[in-house]
Amino acid sequence: MISVYYFGAIALVLVGLYGVLVKKNLMKILISLSIMETGVNLLLISIGYVSGKSAPILSEGVKWNQAVDPIPQALVLTAIVIGVATTAMALSAAILIYEKYGTLNVEEIRRLRG
Amino acid sequence: MLKRSLAIISILIIGYWLAQGLAGVPFGEDKMLVGHYYLQHVKEQTGAVNAVTAIVVNYRGFDTLGEVTVLFIASTGVGALLWRKKRGRTARTEGSVVLTTGVELLFPFIVMFGAYIFIHGHLTPGGGFPGGATMATAFLLLYMAFTIYEIPHKAFEKVEGIAGMSYVLVGLIGLAIGGYFLFDWIWQTWHWGSDNIGRLFSGGFIPVIYTIIGIKVGTELSGIVDNMLKEEVRE
């Protein structure tokens, strides 16, 4: 039986993938990419969980063997920032595309370029 | 309709495949190999209580340098993509009095809280990136509430560049003293604050680097917001 966290993370990735495959609006595709990224981060963080242990902040009586794995948390910290950066880039590209073509529909943009 | 059903079928296949792969990774069990080493030695090797920030800044400092570089490239790229000769705020509706007064009152508190987060990165959850994002939120509030507000560009861009350079500079000082890039010279050479682990003045160079990163991230995200909210002005 798969854990509910893994299931949720996979479901988020798949929902994002569905949006990227099916949707035609550029903004919806970007939202789907963000959802996928959230799913990947959730998957990473849930792999590092150890049942019954606390956050890896070793103050106030938390011994080193009472903490969860700190490495996935560090990785996710990096991944979140990179996701925000790529989303900002993609959004400004979307602004430019709307100014140039007057539409955000992916198929119409493809047709306009000829 | 055909496209959607095809997409759903292929996605279900991919999901089953991913779930099969994850079935071999048990949830909630101790799978740490390097993690044990980090948790065991984090206090005496870095002086930080928060193991995550110690890993992010100290053990895997190169990751953070790359991350800061990615964010810098993104903010430069947004600036380059949205570059126009004459740009300005074109918002027309001023917020209500309640909104503007509320933002004026909240602004210093949000900035103070952001600074608190990145200064206490080695003690509490958080660090440079959440703190910087909180500070950028304060500037976003100003942008949302006032129609004419703009960040002070000259100061902001200089502060951003200086913060980025001083991060590399701290790493280079470590190279000169300890022999490798991003060597924690404050902790391992000076032993500064080694008798008050868990208090503010400890943690080697983690608070220093996180202050630098927090300022850099805050100015960068505010710059991205500024670029996105401005539109071309036509006479």
Interval A71-85: pLDDT, tens: 999 999 999 999 999
A62: in domain: no
How does pLDDT run across B129-151, given as a tens digit for each residue?
Answer: 999 999 999 999 998 888 888 88
The SS3 of residue A111 is: helix
* Per-residue buried b or exposed e for B21-41, using 16+ beta carbons within 10 Å of the residue's own CB: ebeeeebeeeebeebeebbee
Q: Is the pLDDT of residue B58 over 90?
A: no
Query: Per the structure, how many domains does chain A have?
Result: 1
Strand partners, A50: B28
SS3 B88: strand
Reading phi first (left if > 0) and then psi (alpha if -120 to 50, else beta), residue B41 is in alpha
The DSSP H or E segment spanning B232 is: strand B231-232
Q: Does B9 touch chain A (CB under 8 A)?
A: no
Give the C-alpha separation, B123 to B78, whole Å.
Answer: 34
Q: What is the spatial distance between Cα A109 and Cα B134, in angstroms, rounded to a whole number?
A: 36
Asked if A19 and A87 count as a contact pair (C-beta separation under 8 A), the reply is no
**Looking at residue A102, which CATH number applies to its domain?**
1.10.287.3510
Asked if the model's pLDDT at residue A114 lies above 60, the reply is no
The CA–CA distances, whole Å, from A72 to B19, B75, B134, B176 equal 19, 26, 23, 31
Write out pLDDT tens, residues B59-95.
888 888 899 999 999 999 999 998 887 778 877 777 7
**What ipTM goes with this model?**
0.87
Token code pair at residue B198:
């868990």
Q: Tell whether pTM > 0.90.
A: no
State the SS3 of A57-90.
ECCCCCCHHHECCHHHHHHHHHHHHHHHHHHHHH
Looking at the domain assignment, is residue A30 inside a domain? yes
d(CA B128, CA B21): 35
Give B-chain residues touching A77 at CB under 8 angstroms.
52, 56, 127, 129
Q: Select from B141, B172, B165, B164 the least CA-distant residue to B216.
A: B164
* Range with the poorest average pLDDT among A28-32, A85-89, B46-50, B163-167: B46-50
Q: How far apart are CA A75 and CA A87, in angstroms?
A: 18
**Residue pair B7/A18 in contact by the 8 Å Cβ criterion:** yes
Nearest-CA distance A78 → chain B (Å): 6
Q: Tell me if A2 and B19 make a contact (CB, 8 A cut-off).
A: yes
Nearest-neighbour CA in chain A from B85: distance (Å): 15
The residues with which A54 forms a beta bridge, in sequence order, are: A67
Interface contact flag, A21 B11, Cβ < 8 Å = yes
Residue range of the domain that includes A27? 1-51+67-112
Disruptive mutation site among A14, A30, A58, A62 for chain B (greatest number of B CBs within 10 Å): A58
- Rounded Cα distance between B108 and B101, Å, is 12
Is A58 inside any structural domain?
no
